Amino acid sequence: MTEPNYEVNCPSSKADRDHVRTQMAEGVNCLIRIDDQRMALKDIIDAIHEKHNMPKKTIRKLIMARFKRNKDEIIAETNEFEDAYESLFEEASTVTGVDADDWKDGEDDEPPSVDDNFSVRSDDD
């Protein structure tokens, strides 16, 4: 097994070291600006939420879709998800008599128990 090499290859000339330090300082400044912009974006989302009572998650998603220009991709993914969900769970609700989404409308915060609709028998039964 070879020993890992922990040696750092730093520039040997003063001019090169100054260049590296200057570039690293600029990198730190970039991260500070990014952090500031994240805070500004959070403030914008909060302001829209407060004034128009829109869900923050929706606001973020709309902003990102405009930024990435991928509205059609998001819609396609949503349609694929909806198709898969309906295919898997709407059929199950007709078989079990329990709608997979019913538990959200009731007073309980818990989804229905598997034991409510299914029984598992052992070989001893």
- Looking from the CA of 59 toward its CB, the CA atoms found within 13 Å total 16
Task: Report the pLDDT value the prediction gives residue 96, as an integer from 0 to 100.
Answer: 61
Residues 6+ apart with CB under 8 A from 17: 10, 11
Average pLDDT of the chain, as a whole number: 84
What pLDDT shows up at residue 7?
Answer: 82
Residue 125 domain flag: no
Q: How far apart are the C-alpha atoms of 92 and 94, rounded to whole Å?
A: 5
**Domain encompassing residue 80:** 70-102
Residue 81 domain flag: yes
Low-confidence residues of the chain, pLDDT below 50?
125
Residue 9 has a pLDDT of 86
**Prediction pTM value:** 0.60
Output the pLDDT for position 108. 54
What confidence score (pLDDT) does residue 67 get?
A: 97
b/e 41-64 (16+ beta carbons within 10 angstroms → b): eeeebeebeeeeeeeeeebeeeee
Of the residues 53, 69, 85, the one at which a domain ends: 69
pLDDT 10s digits, 84-99: 999 999 876 665 666 5
Express each pLDDT in 65-82 by its tens digit: 999 999 999 999 999 999
Continuous H helices in 53-106: 56-68, 71-85, 91-96, 102-105
| 23, 35: one domain | yes
Pair 61, 76 in one domain: no
Whether 57 and 76 share a structural domain? no
- How many domains are there within the chain? 2
pLDDT computed for residue 110 by the predictor? 59
Q: Do 40 and 86 reside in the same domain of the chain?
A: no
One domain, residues 65 and 83 = no
Give the model's pLDDT for residue 39. 98
